[in-house]
Amino acid sequence: MIRGLVFDKDGTLFDFKTTWNAWSAGLIRRFSNGDPERESALAAAAHFDMARQSFLPSSPIIAGTNREAAEIFASVVTEHSVEELEDILMNATLDAPQAEVVPLADYFADLRARGFKTGVITNDTEAGAMSHLRQARATKHLDFIAGFDSGYGAKPAPDPLLAFATRVGLAPAQVAMVGDSTHDLVSAKRAGMYRIGVLTGMADYDDLAPYADVVLPHIGHILGHFQNIQND
């Protein structure tokens, strides 16, 4: 029986396209300083389609850490060190408006009332995770929040997921990992957890299905999925 649910953040709790595509286009324009060639180079490095204002599914930024994003931009933005770009990116994301997939405060309050232990594990920074979850008024309903810099490692390694299980006193087999990328699902498999893919990120069903136990439209379908399993 699943008693714990651990969620990715971007593309899982918050719709990735609505939240990050336009914001990222603005960031690329900011870094390009009005130079069309530099803009094209930045977009190519990030696998971002400026005409469509959208990341390509191949972009390493989608599921990567803040450090990895900084390294990608540093290949073009040579006037800043990777460390400086890390700080710039982190500070720029803290107040970015988030598009909640469902009203998260009510969602997590309901899960807690039903007896679930819940957590959020993201390859964003811990500061970014806390900022965005505070905006959603969800932090008080969560048992565990970790970014790639929280000391547990980053997905697709299983370590942060196992840290959640240890924190809440559950065996890995009692936990489901919910995510929109193969990074999330590979991490869950390595941790020995149930794997739930959701389609609110940049990956489609065919991308996620080989790695998931189930692929759902969004997190609002999870309880219904478990009820159907119990009825079967």
Q: How far is CA 141 from CA 81, 103, 125, in A?
A: 38, 13, 20
The answer to whether the predicted template modeling score (pTM) of the entire model surpasses 0.95 is no
Residue 149 in tokens: 């810099």
Mean pLDDT throughout 42-48? 96
CB 101 within 8 A of CB 200: yes
CA distance 154 to 57: 20
Q: What is the reported pLDDT for 164?
A: 98
d(CA 45, CA 72) in angstroms, rounded, equals: 6
Of 168, 85, 101, 93, the residue nearest 126 (C-alpha):
93
**Tokens coding 8:** 């990715």
Helix (H, G, I), strand (E, B) or coil at 4: strand
Q: How confident is the model at residue 95 (pLDDT cuts 50, 70, 90)?
A: confident
- Identify the pLDDT of residue 232: 62
Helix 82-93 vs helix 66-74: crossing angle, to nearest 10: 120
Q: What is the reported pLDDT for 230?
A: 72
pLDDT in tens, 143-200: 999 999 999 999 999 999 999 999 999 999 999 999 999 999 999 999 999 999 999 9
**Structure token pair of residue 229:** 């399993």
Q: Could you give phi then psi for residue 107, rounded to 5 degrees?
A: -65, -50
Domains and CATH numbers, the chain: 4-15+99-231 (3.40.50.1000), 17-93 (no CATH)
- Contact call for residues 26 and 113 (beta carbons, < 8 A): no
Q: What percent of the chain has pLDDT over 90?
A: 89
Strand ranges (E), 26-80: 48-49, 54-55
> Would you call 151 exposed, middle or buried from its count of C-beta atoms within 10 A (0-12, 13-18, 19+)?
exposed
**Could you report the per-residue pLDDT of 108-141, keeping only the tens digit for each?**
999 999 999 999 999 999 999 999 999 999 999 9
Does residue 85 contact residue 74 with C-beta atoms inside 8 Å? yes
**For the chain, how long is the longest CA-to-CA vector?**
60
At 97 the pLDDT is 83
